[in-house]
Amino acid sequence: MNRWSMKMEKSANLPCLIAGKPERPTYLPLEACVLVPLQRYKKSLSTLQRSKLVEGSRQRPDQRMLSLSGVLRANNYNSDPVLRECGIVIDPEFTQVEGRVLQAPQLNSADGRELHTPNGRWNFNNDRFIQPIKVKMWGVVNFSARCNVEDLARRLIQSGAKKGILQEMAECGVIEERHQMRREPPTKRVEAMFQQIKAKLTRKPDFLFLLCVLPEKNSDIYGPWKRECLVEHGIFTQCLVPPPNIKDQYLTNVLLKINAKLGGLNSLLKKETTRAIPHVSKVPTIIFGMDVSHGSPGRNVPSVAAVVSSLKWPIMSKYRASVCTQSPRLEMIDTLFKPVGDDDHGLIKDSLVDFLRNNDGQRPEQIIIFQGWC
- My answer on whether 181 and 243 are in the same domain is yes
* CATH code for the domain in which residue 279 is found: 3.30.420.10
- My answer on whether 348 and 259 are in the same domain is no
Instruction: Tell me the residue ranges of DSSP E strands in the chain.
Output: 17-21, 24-28, 107-108, 138-142, 173-176, 209-213, 236-240, 268-269, 285-293, 303-310, 319-326, 339-340, 343-344, 366-371
| 9/362: higher pLDDT | 362
169-213 tens-digit pLDDT: 665 789 999 999 999 999 999 999 999 998 888 777 777 899 999
Q: What pLDDT band is residue 311 in, cutting at 50, 70 and 90?
A: very high
374 pLDDT above the threshold of 60: no
Yes or no: say if 224 and 186 are a contact pair by the CB < 8 Å rule: yes
- My answer on whether 123 and 259 are in the same domain is yes
Query: Of 253, 268, 283, at which residue does a domain stop?
Result: 268
Query: Of 268, 289, 316, at which residue does a domain stop?
Result: 268
Average pLDDT taken over every residue of the chain: 88
- My answer on whether 147 and 192 are in the same domain is yes
- Give start and end residues of each alpha helix (H) in 13-170: 47-57, 61-75, 81-85, 149-163
* Half-sphere exposure at residue 27, Cβ-oriented, CA atoms within 13 angstroms: 6
* Residue 102 is assigned to a structural domain of this protein: no
297 pLDDT above the threshold of 80: no
- My answer on whether 341 and 288 are in the same domain is yes
Domain count, the chain: 4
| 264/22: higher pLDDT | 264
- My answer on whether 240 and 286 are in the same domain is no
Domain housing 341:
275-371
- My answer on whether 176 and 264 are in the same domain is yes
Position 4 scores a pLDDT of 64
334-352 tens-digit pLDDT: 889 988 888 888 899 999 9
- CA dist., res. 138 & res. 128, Å (int): 20
Yes or no: say if 138 and 166 are a contact pair by the CB < 8 Å rule: yes
CA angle 39, 44, 46 (to 5 degrees): 110
Q: What percent of the chain has pLDDT over 70?
A: 97
Strand partners, 114: 108
* CATH code for the domain in which residue 169 is found: 3.40.50.2300
Position 7 scores a pLDDT of 79
* Residue 124 is assigned to a structural domain of this protein: yes
- CA dist., res. 17 & res. 38, Å (int): 19
- My answer on whether 161 and 198 are in the same domain is yes
